[in-house]
Every structure is written in structure tokens, then in C-alpha cells.
Copies of this chain bind each other. A is one copy, B any other.
């Protein structure tokens, strides 16, 4: 009988924002797997802290790239596919031996992120359970103290990699928006928000719910760099009640 693949949402960064279920599964898992960049612990591993059983086998899946390549870059697609295949194979080996696996995911497993690419390769063969987590964006708007979506609001979640015109056009049809993957897209995002008349409402959040958290009006970020792990929040227009 094979082990079960538990895909475990770790929340936005504060270990206290782990769910009870996530904690139970992490503490009990004989195999704990997580993603990390070269030379880094990785947020998921850091959030787990000392809750992992000392006897558990730790599997570290280290990304083949340290910087963000375009998802359209053929070199990226080739290498990342190999990486996900190899990582899934390492999990399949343990699952086939009857060992349960906890695959740790920042935030919520099925809301952006890498674990889905391993799930895709394993879910037909092995039993699985998905443990949802608090998303990074929930962490950010909560840390910012900004009520975000009300009533009949339309929410858009947009990647900062979209071109300026498309960003502005998308923003125009929503009530609230979250723009992820700010990084080197910061100036373009500010311009698109300005085009859409939303710059004054936009809030910049860096490292939400993690050490080094910074929250400020986006307009005050003129000319600065932003790390990849930052986002821009545009709260909905609040209809009074």
C-alpha cells in the first residue's frame, strides 16, 4: 500500500498562521519535502521551524535558477521540466514504499507556486490530500489593515509581468486588484496604475507577514527597486453600509 502525498499550505510567513491540520501533518510526516533557491532555506522550511520530526527524511528541491527567467524562455522551460520530473520521482520512490510525504508549500498550494507541478505528476498514481493555507495576499491585506473586497466587488489577481497597456485595461474592469511578481516590474506597474487612475489607492507590501515586512503607499516607492516577493494591493471601492 502506497503512502499518501499531503500537499501542505504553510501560509504567508508567520508560523502562527499555519493551520492546525498543517501542523499535525508536518509533525507526523516521515518524509518532508520543500522547495528552495540555492543558498537559501526557503520560506516553507523556515515556517516549519522545529516542528518537523527529527527522524523525518528531509527532501530539499533546489531550483535550477537563482534569478527569475521569463516563463517563455525555452531554456527555462526545458530545465524546469527536468527539475520537476526529478523531484516528483524522488517523492514517488518514497510513496511507493508506503511512506507518507508532506510536501510543504508557501501560502496556499493550488494558488500559484511550484507544488502543483509535482502534484500533476503524482496524483493519478498515489492517494493525496491538499491542505489549503492562508494566501500571501490575505496575509498582506491583513497586515496592511485594509478591508479588501466587499459585496459584489470583482477581484483581479494579475501578474506584474503583463505589459503596461494590458495591466491598465485589466485594472479598469475590476473593483479590487492584487498585482504579484512586482520585482523589476515596479515602474511599469506604477505607470499602469496611474493610467487607470488607481495609483493613489495602491499599497505596496514587501515580505508580508515575514521578517522585514514593509508596507507603504505605492506612490512613495518612486524609483526604488522591489524584490520579487512583493505585491501591490488595490483595495476595492467601499460602498458605504
Contacts and interface: CB of A to CB of B under 8 A. Distances in A.
Interface of A: 9, 11-12, 14-21, 23-24, 71, 77, 80-81, 84, 108-112, 116-117, 119-120, 123, 128, 130-135, 138-139, 141-143, 145-159, 161-162, 170, 173-174, 181, 209, 238-241
A178 to B, nearest CB: 9
A164 to B, nearest CB: 15
Given A19-B134, A134-B19, A80 B14 contact: no
B16 A18 contact: no
Contact of A16 (B24, B112, B157): B24
A108 B137 CA distance: 11
Nearest first, the 3 A-B pairs at minimum CB distance are A116-B147, A155-B157, A132-B138
A110 B146 contact: yes
Contacts of A139: 132
Contact of A152 (B12, B141, B159): B159
Contact of A149 (B112, B123, B142, B209): B112
Contacts of A117: 241
Contact of A147 (B110, B134, B150, B181): B110
B84 A111 contact: no
B80 A108 contact: no
A44 to B, nearest CB: 16
Q: For A15, A23, A24, A152, which residue has the most chain B Cβ atoms within 10 angstroms?
A: A152
Given A17-B131, A110-B149, A154-B156, 18 more contacts: A12-B132, A16-B21, A16-B24, A17-B20, A18-B19, A20-B23, A71-B239, A81-B241, A108-B142, A130-B145, A132-B135, A132-B138, A132-B141, A132-B209, A149-B157, A151-B159, A152-B159, A152-B162
